Chain A
Amino acid sequence: MATKASNLRGWIWASPFLIGLALFTLLPAALSIAYSFTDYSLLDPPVFVGLDNYREMLADPALGRATLNTILFCLFNVTIGTILSVAIALLLEQRLPFSALARLIVFLPTLVPIVAGSLGWMWVLNADQGILNRALAFLHLPTPNWLGDARFALPAIIIVSLWSIGSAIVIAGAAIRDVPAALYEAALIDGAGPLRRLRHITLPMITPALTLNIIMSLIWSTQAFAAPLIMTRGGPQNATLTYAMHVYNNAFVFGRMGYACALAWVQFLATAILVALALKILTSLSHARPLR
């Protein structure tokens, strides 16, 4: 049983983290709740405006567009990202030649800083001289103006974000390797083909890892910021304006910190609800060790 002295020692050792957490996370978070009910520009003292900031959200057309873009981004990024990461992980787990090299290549993009990656992709997606459109033209396919046309800009940003799914692949691959071989052997004896083994053994067994990937991807997607900021600045016609960019613009470009705080809290609550829902659904689907 822990003595008072050992408890105290524990608190002392934990105190640097706890003080940091209180000062740099909890206090700013609490202040941001208070600021969300004010008009605050950072330069002037805040003026209490009640629920005005929250009411204004209903009449903010840019917010509507940013929310829709973020939902679409989340939907496609999480869905396609999850399917792709599992598919690539399954492929990499086959005993193929150069699979170690392939794993390295798949993981490398996650090591590239997002700014450098985005700038590189801007050239790849360049309408006139980009390698993608050159390849499409060679195949006599249409060559869209990926970043300049409102219809293609968001899909282009989604493609760019899918470039760095290396860590999701590594997690999925580790989970696949962890599936007991006895299960596959038993299924083989029962005459199960590859697709049935995938559906009835692999996927249920790696659900906890998939849950982790999906939750991480969901949280990351709701905060999409750097790639659209660098590649399109939210344009054309706000086609790539994300919720996080709208928060940033209001806080640091328009000097409307109070409104930005209100936006951020709504984003936080929406993300928390989404994650809780996803966690509940995915945990109920899990056939293996639960994620708790």
Chain B
Amino acid sequence: MPPIGPIIDRSRRAAIGALAAGAAAFAFWPSTPRSRRDIPHGRTVLSYWEKWTGPEGEAIQRVVDAFNSSQDRIYVQRLAVSDQNSKALVAIGGGDPPDLAGLFSYSVPQYAESGAAIPFDQLGLDPGPGFFTPAIERVLRHQGRLFAAPNTSYSLALYYNLDHFEEAGLAPPTSLESLADTAVALTRRAPDRSIDRVGFLPSLPWWWYYLWPVYADGLLYDDSSPDAPTAPIDSDACVRAFEWVASFPKRLGLADVRTFADRFARSYHNAGDPFLSGRCSMAFQGPWLANFARVYAPTLRFGVIPMPHAAGLPDPLQPRGLVECDVIIIPRGCPHPEEAAEFVRFTLRQDIQESLCRDHFKSSPLASLSPTFLSTHPHPGIAAFEAVARSPRVSVLPRTRVWKNYSELLLPAYDAIWAGADVRSVLSPLAARLRILIDRQQDIARRRSNGD
């Protein structure tokens, strides 16, 4: 066996060397991190996680800057965070949350039910009923209590290319059925028969694949009986909506539409965007598209109308659609809830809300609009989004904790329908699976409330 004395000596020398290097690094390490050098002395620093980057990030930063300069007690530090829901989940569950977290409104039931978000009435922040539009009230409240503040809201509408319509002598569609016919009429093929320009594709982009039932008055989630909610995704109305979706690959050719759509897999919201580049005559999109049009296609002439719904529905003049929100919550266990409430109160001011909405090209979540909001809004089609957002027939995403699971299960079903599978035979097993998930969730909620 070799003598271990020299080995120990070497180890000791290495350890002392490492300790000395550590001490030197500690001595020379800046006492204030670079990110904190600009913070005025003596203020309470709030950490605010927000998802936005780019121009949208700059817009919310202007709100943060306005708040920071409006008083001298609190300093909000915004941190751009991707995959924010997962990160907030881990941070709150781990007991180290930020003071403010920017999330999407579909997360509100999960955070509210689990007590992960502080209800605003505890912080004197609830502006009371009637402050927000009815749909926004529905997404921000849980069992009557307000858990989140809106940080812009959005609905979806149909953009159409004025040049394409004028050239073809067509009028904007008035129903889902006429939309499909118009889409086929506007589609152009290359000499090799591949699609060169498409009139409309529900999967371009595919982001709102779960939303089509809304346009046939189908319910994604029925909580009219709170103790026994259901997900009637295989109802006749939902089947009708997805059959409409399936009609596009059937009429235009599955391989052709797939190849065409695949071209744009990474080309949304830039110069290669199918609508902005003139390769798609109609696009189902949010208000932000006009913001990107201003940058990437300034000469594009387009109109915006509420997305048409299926023919023969009641109240045909009332638009259907979806309203959702970007929201701010104050997480349970955050270091400075009172100061965070100060910031949220600031963002709820009408001038601040409307300024952020204008910067994001979005409609307002507030019930009342300032007289100049619409006339000074940079989105030329904002009236269509406002009409959807304020319609009594507008929908919100299912207010259930299983929604993310639900939407993930619906995606392969949508893919299968798009690929030609029989709609009802795809949706029926999905409805059965959702039944299990919802029942289980209800059971767990009951057991939690019983203290099991």
Contacts and interface: CB of A to CB of B under 8 A. Distances in A.
B262 A148 contact: yes
Interface string A96-136: 00000000000000000000000000100011110000000
A-B complex: 9 closest residue pairs judged by Cβ atoms:
A42-B93, A43-B114, A252-B86, A237-B415, A254-B405, A43-B116, A238-B412, A127-B262, A44-B114
Given A39-B444, A62-B409, A128 B263 contact: yes
A236 to B, nearest CB: 4
B405 A256 contact: yes
Contacts of A193: none
A82 interface: no
A67 interface: no
9 contacts: A9-B8, A39-B440, A43-B92, A44-B114, A65-B412, A147-B265, A237-B419, A254-B405, A255-B89
A191 interface: no
Contacts, number: 102
Given A43-B114, A129-B263, 19 more contacts: A39-B440, A39-B444, A43-B89, A43-B92, A43-B93, A44-B113, A44-B114, A44-B115, A48-B452, A49-B444, A145-B255, A148-B259, A148-B262, A149-B258, A236-B412, A237-B419, A249-B408, A252-B86, A253-B404
Nearest to A40: B93
A47 interface: yes
Given A59-B436, A145-B255, A256-B405, A41 B114 contact: yes
A155 interface: no
Contact of A47 (B93, B115, B412, B444): B444
Interface of B: 4, 8, 11, 85-86, 89-90, 92-93, 110-111, 113-116, 255, 258-263, 265-266, 401-402, 404-405, 408-409, 411-412, 415-416, 419, 429, 433, 436, 440, 444, 447-448, 452
Interface string A28-58: 0000000000010111110111001000100
A204 interface: no
Contacts of A45: 448
A150 B415 contact: yes
Contacts of B429: 61
B408 A126 contact: no
A45 B429 CA distance: 32
A129 B404 CA distance: 33
Contact of B412 (A56, A237, A249): A237
Contact of B259 (A43, A128, A237): A128
Given A145-B262, A254-B404, A61 B433 contact: yes
Interface string A229-259: 0000001111001000000010011111000
B90 to A, nearest CB: 7
Among B85, B436, B440, residue most surrounded by chain A Cβ atoms (within 10 Å) = B440
Contacts of A52: 440
